[in-house]
């Protein structure tokens, strides 16, 4: 460790800018989750409820753009799995590497490309963009990091990029 690296271990510095955790959505995109999402926020956009409107405007059903990250969250349980299955694995890798037991997502930026449609198979990878020096906030002492999740569909088209501002931290001793 040195001053210029803000005390960031070499193992973490080596991760910056490198694509990791390539994955495919674990099931073909489907409308059932769209209805759950629309119901949760009372979204009556006819694109998701009226097939004639969807046909006219988007050439068939699409899914709400902000659902992009939903398609990469693992099932809570699958046969043969043990332990908690985690989305945004790189975030949890960093918690472990920095030995920071708690974390929050402080912010999020998403750029949207082509719409996602039922039946699509999506691919994504995660990229660590930056890690801050140690910071003290009202919830504890830790570090901020930015992770991009970049997503394409089965045709290689750009679906979107989700950037997460995360803060991993240790709570002050009681």
Partner 1 sequence: MSIGELRILTLEQVREGDELPPLAHQVTATTVVLGALASRDWRPMHHDREFAISRNGVRDIFINTPNNAAWFERYVTDWTGPRGRLGRMKFRMGEPVFPGDEMILSGRVTRAAADDTGCGWVDLDLAVSVSGTVKTSCRARVAIPCDGDDNPWERKDERWKP
Positions touching partner 1 (CB under 8 A) are 33, 36-47, 50, 52-53, 56-58, 64-67, 69-70, 73, 76, 87, 102, 104-115, 139, 157, 164-165, 171
As a whole number of angstroms, the distance between CA 57 and CA 47 comes to 8
Q: Tokens 């402080």 belong to which residue?
A: 106
Instruction: Give the Cβ contact number of residue 171 at 10 Å.
Output: 11
CB 114, min distance to partner 1, A? 6
Instruction: Give the Cβ contact number of residue 76 at 10 Å.
Output: 8
Closer by beta carbon to partner 1, 1 or else 105:
105
Closer by beta carbon to partner 1, 70 or else 97:
70
Closer by beta carbon to partner 1, 34 or else 131:
34
CA distances from 90 to 98, 124, 150 (A): 12, 13, 13
Radius of gyration from C-alpha coordinates of the chain: 19
CB 67, min distance to partner 1, A? 7
Closer by beta carbon to partner 1, 7 or else 21:
21
């Amino acid at each position: 460790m040195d001053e210029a690296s803000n005390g960031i271990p070499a193992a973490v510095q080596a991760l910056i800018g490198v694509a990791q955790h390539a994955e495919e959505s674990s099931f073909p995109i489907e409308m059932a989750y769209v209805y759950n999402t629309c119901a949760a926020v009372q979204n009556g956009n006819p694109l998701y409820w009226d097939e004639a409107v969807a046909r006219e405007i988007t050439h068939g059903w699409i899914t709400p753009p902000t659902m992009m990250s939903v398609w990469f969250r693992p099932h809570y349980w699958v046969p043969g799995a043990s332990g908690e299955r985690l989305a945004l694995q790189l975030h949890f890798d960093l918690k472990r590497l920095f030995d920071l037991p708690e974390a929050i997502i402080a912010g999020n930026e998403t750029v949207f490309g082509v719409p996602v449609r039922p039946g699509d198979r999506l691919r994504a990878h995660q990229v660590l963009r930056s890690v801050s020096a140690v910071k003290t906030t009202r919830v504890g002492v830790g570090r901020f990091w930015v992770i991009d999740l970049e997503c394409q569909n089965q045709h290689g088209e750009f679906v979107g990029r989700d950037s997460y501002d995360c803060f991993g931290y240790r709570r002050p001793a009681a």
